[in-house]
Amino acid sequence: MQYLLSVVTDSTELATDEEMAAIDVFNSRLQTEGHWVFAGGLAGPDAATVVDNRGEQPVVTDGPFVETKEFLIGFWIIEAADLDVALALAVEGSRACNRKVEVRPFL
Amino acid sequence: MSDVAEAVTRAHREEWARVVAALTKRFGDLDVAEEAAAEAFATAVEHWPAEGVPPNPGAWLTTTAVRKAIDRIRRENKRDDKHKEAQAVYDDDPPEPLGAIDDDRLRLLFTCCHPALAMEARLALTLRMVGGLTVPEITRAFLVGESAMGQRITRAKAKIKAARIPYRVPSAADLPARVSGVLAVLFLVFNEGYLATGPDTDPVRHDLTAEAIRLTRLVRALLPDDGEVAGLLALMLLIEARRTARVSATGDLVPLDEQDRGAWDKALIAEGHRLVRERLATGQPPGRYQVLAAINAVHTSARDVRDTDWSQVVALYDQLVRLDPSPVVALNRAVAVAELDGPEVALATVDRLDAQLAGYHAYHVARADLLRRLGRSRESRAAYDRAIALAGNTAEITYLTRRRDQLAPWHRPRPPRERHPPRRPGRSGVR
């Protein structure tokens, strides 16, 4: 079972050196314990572009797809037996990156 | 009620959770388990009058429910995954032997009270899956629309499935935190019954208090060594014992000091006291529910309100403040302090809680009472008005209105202090 751990924030400030070090520790734990699938950090919403090609012409718009105070700034995709395992890892992840983490199962 | 009808009712009360739990374990799906259990009970209603009540109703119901579930899975799986079907239907693994505790129902309870579910969803799901209440019954209990309650339960079950909330007893490390979540759900059910809110409900919903006690007894049977489980059960029993004395014939709330103590349920009080003594004898530090139970034990030990050991009550509140330094606990402590050190001392404490509790009706009730005892009628009246505006329980509103209307006009001389002024310490306090 795979879960998406989304890192949620309201600031585009990059992770501090301390946070990066903690994230590295968490990542290697995910790898050694077999939870690791993929992870990545994202540029802020200022760098987002939305493409909509559902109509006749593709429309390209500058900016994020929704206007919210909080946004996605990075994510992990993990392998976990059940939600309790995923939540326990998210608890560690949130501590490591010092931001909120949303847990959602893949279908 | 006929013997058979009674047997069905009893089986529903005693076996529902076991049937749902056994089926959830076997099929891994709460929907399948719930519907099959409901079908099995409907079949019992049909068959038992003619065929007689089976010697082991629980086993009969579980077997019937398993057959119903298999039928249903076969019907629904006609078009898709044959492999899954085969697995579910031909799973003939012998059931795991039961240990000292009945794991299945405990797993069900922990699944329904999982912290990843919203509190309202936990309440509704627990009452449905563990308590066996129907959706209309739960709807009546919590005064929301039936479709909203149905959706809440459906959504919770869908999340359990999609997010894979595990069906298991939490590990030893997680157990205390998770048990406290279960107890919070049960105490909410109890409180909703004991101080029912809403203009059209009975002021006391005995169905809910009884259900909360029944489920807490079940948890205690499953976790006999947990002190807080015993504490919550004792607390509920000692509050429930006073239920009939708590509302007058005219529908007024009767505060603790005015209650007819002869009308209290002696058997429930004895059981509650026994549990409190049992916990004291362990010598382990008590948690919040155990301290609240001990406070209620002090109150129910006094044959007359004048005999109440207030210094012990205040000492127990001191202990409670250390465990739970919330403003509501501070308020309840202040109300007890008024009995020991007088209303003036208590009012000084209560007034400091204004910023945190201004929207809480019990805060204004406590203030109104203390101001009344100090002869500050005009301020007391204003506090009663605030309390009445914020209160949701019909009996309590009637009572508060009467108290307000008994106040002397503010310009009159200060009235003599009553010997036993009423106390209304709010939800976690003593009523």
Q: Find, in chain B, the residue whose alpha carbon is nearest to that of A107.
A: B162
pLDDT of res. A64: 86
Q: Are B317 and B329 in contact (CB under 8 A)?
A: yes
pLDDT in tens, B383-427: 999 999 988 888 889 999 999 998 876 555 555 555 444 443 344
Residues of chain B short of pLDDT 70, as ranges, are 1, 78-102, 141, 143, 196-202, 409-431
Helices (H), B252-391: 266-282, 288-301, 310-323, 327-341, 343-351, 354-357, 361-373, 377-390
pTM: 0.79
SS3 B9: helix
pLDDT of res. A65: 83
What is the residue range of A63's domain? Answer: 2-105
Q: What residues of A are in contact with residue B157 (Cβ under 8 Å)?
A: none
Handedness of CA B404, B408, B409, B410 (dihedral sign): negative
What's the CATH number for B1-79? 1.10.1740
Annotated domain spans of chain B: 1-79, 309-408
pLDDT of res. B103: 73
CA A83 to chain B, closest CA, distance in angstroms equals 5
Chain centroid, CA B61 distance in Å: 28
Looking from the CA of B394 toward its CB, the CA atoms found within 13 Å total 14
Is this complex's ipTM strictly greater than 0.90? no
pLDDT in tens, A94-107: 999 999 999 999 99
Residue B259 φ/ψ, nearest 5 degrees: -70, 150
SS3 B7: helix
Say which CATH topology domain B309-408 has.
Answer: 1.25.40
Nearest partner of B101 among B259, B204, B218, B257, judged by Cα? B218
pLDDT of res. B195: 73
Pair of tokens at residue A31: 């790898």
State the average pLDDT over residues A23-27: 96
**Could you say which DSSP state residue B92 is in?**
-
pLDDT of res. B99: 43
Q: Are B121 and B201 in contact (CB under 8 A)?
A: no
Q: Find, in chain B, the residue whose alpha carbon is nearest to that of A3.
A: B163
pLDDT of res. B133: 85
CATH number of domain containing A52: 3.30.70.1060
Concatenated DSSP letters for B319-342?
HHHHH---HHHHHHHHHHHHHHH-
Count chain A–chain B contacts defined by CB atoms under 8 A: 23
The verdict on a CB contact (< 8 Å) between B165 and A103 is no
The rounded distance, in Å, linking the Cα atoms of B425 and B360 is: 11
Q: Give percent above pLDDT 90 in chain A.
A: 76
**What domain count does chain A have?**
1
